[in-house]
């Protein structure tokens, strides 16, 4: 007996098509808005001369973290500049910053809500598992009909891919606040809002920062992959090197990604430590 194949793919496509046509106004609006954001951040970062931005970043590293990180950052950025990868690096940084910003803005309230409501928690956690384990490339496909080829689609896919840790860590952080402290807040007649602002959020801040750090790292890895749907930046340098079979160019761009990743990671980690 032949069991008919379940047309799961067709259903999903149908749903996506319907979404695309019904909400084209919305997606186009988002697209234009995001593109403007990307362009203006890009332009302002590129408007600064390379040495000035390099100095600013090094100074920031020195203030927030250590002189060692500042020296490392300056050396790494100087290498990228020297390799002629400065502009792609800025484009990648812009995508990471915007994607992370959007992801965190969505993740914080969702994470808080999941921490406070058991039902929501049970609803959201499997969704996060889905978002994280689905191969990242798959998000790129529906992004194109929604937002067209280019950076906005890259951001869309990146936000979905990188958001889960921020939600998870926020939820975890709030749930980890010791019961006694919640009890103490209750005993003195704190409202839910007061409890959240005065006790739960400040105490879970280090954990939330760890989540944001993870989100930044995932976002960076995704914006590189997003070069496949036409996102600018270091990823497209790698992509071009693959197509032309030039391992040297590929590694150069790859090293630039590594430098950027380490810089962002150390910077956010020390931000977290200084808060503790």
Say whether residue 197 binds another protein (CB under 8 A). Answer: no
Number of residues near another protein (by CB under 8 A): 17
Cβ neighbours of residue 58 under 8 Å, at least 6 residues apart? 70, 71, 73, 74, 77
Which member of 187, 244, 245, 248 binds another protein (CB under 8 A)?
Answer: 187
How far apart are the C-alpha atoms of 30 and 34, rounded to whole Å? Answer: 6
Q: By CB under 8 A, tell whether 271 contacts another protein.
A: no
Given candidates 26, 66, 186, 246, which one binds another protein under the rule CB under 8 A?
Answer: 186
Distance CA 222, CA 216 (A): 10
Instruction: Give 127 or 184: the residue with its C-beta nearer to another protein.
Output: 184
Using CB under 8 A, which of 17, 117, 176, 194 touches another protein?
194
Told to check if 116 binds another protein by CB under 8 A, we report no
Q: Which is nearer to another protein, 40 or 274 (CB)?
A: 274
193 touching another protein, by CB under 8 A: no
Q: Is there binding between residue 129 and another protein (CB under 8 A)?
A: no
C-alpha dihedral (82, 83, 86, 91), degrees to nearest 10:
-170
**Residues 156-185 interacting with another protein (rule: CB under 8 A):** 178, 180-181, 183-185
CB 236 within 8 A of CB 227: yes
Given 32, 198, 246, 273, the residue binding another protein (CB under 8 A): 198
Residue 202 binds another protein (CB under 8 A): yes
Residue tagged 């079979």 (tokens): 245
Asked whether position 274 contacts another protein by CB under 8 A, the answer is no
Could you say whether residue 189 binds another protein (CB under 8 A)? Answer: yes
Q: How far is the CB of 181 from another protein (least distance, A)?
A: 6
* Residues forming the site for another protein (CB under 8 A): 178, 180-181, 183-191, 194, 198-199, 202-203
């Amino acid at each position: 007996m032949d069991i008919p194949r379940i047309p799961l793919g067709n259903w999903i496509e149908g749903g996506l098509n319907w979404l695309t046509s019904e909400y084209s106004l919305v997606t186009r609006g988002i697209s234009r808005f995001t593109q403007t954001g990307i362009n203006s951040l890009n332009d302002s970062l590129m408007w600064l001369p390379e040495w000035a931005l390099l100095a600013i970043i090094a100074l920031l590293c020195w203030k927030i973290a250590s002189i060692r990180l500042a020296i490392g950052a300056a050396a790494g950025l100087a290498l990228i500049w020297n390799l002629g990868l400065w502009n792609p690096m800025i484009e990648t940084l812009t995508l990471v910053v915007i994607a992370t910003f959007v992801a965190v803005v969505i993740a914080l309230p969702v994470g808080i809500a999941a921490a406070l409501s058991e039902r929501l928690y049970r609803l959201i956690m499997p969704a996060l598992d889905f978002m994280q384990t689905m191969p990242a490339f798959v998000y790129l496909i529906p992004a194109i009909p929604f937002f067209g080829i280019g950076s906005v689609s890259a951001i869309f896919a990146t936000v979905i891919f990188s958001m889960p840790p921020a939600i998870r860590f926020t939820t975890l952080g709030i749930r980890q606040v010791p019961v006694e402290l919640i009890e103490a807040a209750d005993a003195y007649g704190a409202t839910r809002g007061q409890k959240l602002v005065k006790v739960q959020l400040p105490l879970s801040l280090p954990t939330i920062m760890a989540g944001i750090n993870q989100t930044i790292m995932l976002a960076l890895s995704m914006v590189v992959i997003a070069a496949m749907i036409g996102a600018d930046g270091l990823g497209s340098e790698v992509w071009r090197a693959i197509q032309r079979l030039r391992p040297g160019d590929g590694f150069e761009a790859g090293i630039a990604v590594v430098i950027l990743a380490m810089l962002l990671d150390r910077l956010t980690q020390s931000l977290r430590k200084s808060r503790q």
